[in-house]
């Protein structure tokens, strides 16, 4: 098992460019796994943890419903937003400045081969990060992601998740609302859920957060929970 993980921060990156970069790493890792198996080799597979932010963009997962985007082409143009149909799980979501997006591109054979545990572990890292700021968060039964007040009518989502996994190699990941402009969520039915609110750390705490500080805390929790050796 190779638990070394290369951490990369792409900063503010166009969604399509980031998707292409992910695909390249993902495909190279899958190809190496296939080669190891066919040639009976043990060359270690790489692992990556990517953080970034995106300009305003809406993305629709492969099981999503296009009608959950409430904007037409002109509306997208007015909002200076783009729209992509992509190959992760889940429905529609929004990415934009002030939202911390994480793309773990991991060979789960290096950690554990359980996609549900993988998602729950990512959720736990976000929950622990929120706890560092005094925000009590948890899970909402039947849904992925991280929620506040999930046990009552005030339930609101602060982190969405959607992943792709092939041969136990992951891509895509999570979208964590730190200082995100929540008005952009009003143009979609977020993740296909039309009766729940969306929130951010900024909204909950009433102040803008230092994104670099949040990144460091979240990175530390992810590394500890997955027993990663970040480099």
- The set of catalytic residues is 191
Cα gap 95→57, rounded to integer Å: 5
Q: Residue 150 to residues 54, 132, 146, 224: CA-CA distances in angstroms? A: 27, 19, 9, 26
> Quick check: 138 and 78 in contact, CB under 8 A?
no
Cα gap 80→9, rounded to integer Å: 24
Cα gap 213→147, rounded to integer Å: 21
- Bridging pattern class, strands 4-12 and 229-230: parallel
17 token code pair: 């460019």
Q: Which residue has the tokens 């166009």?
A: 14
Cα gap 231→6, rounded to integer Å: 5
1 token code pair: 């098992």
> Quick check: 112 and 118 in contact, CB under 8 A?
yes
Cα gap 103→76, rounded to integer Å: 25
């Amino acid at each position: 098992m190779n638990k070394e993980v290369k951490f990369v921060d792409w900063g503010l990156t166009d969604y399509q460019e980031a998707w292409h970069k992910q695909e390249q790493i993902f495909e190279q890792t899958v190809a190496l796994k296939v080669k190891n198996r066919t040639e009976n080799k043990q060359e270690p597979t790489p692992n990556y943890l990517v953080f970034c932010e995106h300009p305003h963009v809406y993305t629709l997962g492969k099981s999503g419903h296009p009608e959950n985007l409430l904007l037409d082409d002109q509306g997208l143009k007015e909002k200076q937003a783009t729209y992509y149909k992509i190959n992760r799980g889940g429905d529609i979501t929004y990415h934009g400045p002030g939202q911390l997006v994480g793309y773990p591109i991991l060979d789960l054979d290096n950690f554990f081969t359980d996609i549900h545990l993988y998602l729950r572990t990512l959720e736990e890292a976000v929950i622990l990060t929120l706890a560092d700021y005094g925000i009590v968060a948890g899970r909402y039964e039947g849904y992925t992601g991280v929620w506040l007040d999930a046990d009552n009518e005030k339930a609101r989502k602060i982190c969405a998740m959607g992943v792709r996994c092939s041969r136990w190699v992951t891509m895509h990941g999570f979208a964590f609302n730190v200082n995100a402009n929540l008005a952009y969520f009003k143009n979609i039915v977020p993740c296909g859920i039309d009766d729940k609110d969306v929130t951010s750390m900024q909204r909950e705490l009433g102040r803008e957060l230092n994104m670099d500080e949040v990144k460091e805390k979240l990175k530390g929790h992810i590394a500890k929970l997955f027993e990663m050796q970040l480099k």
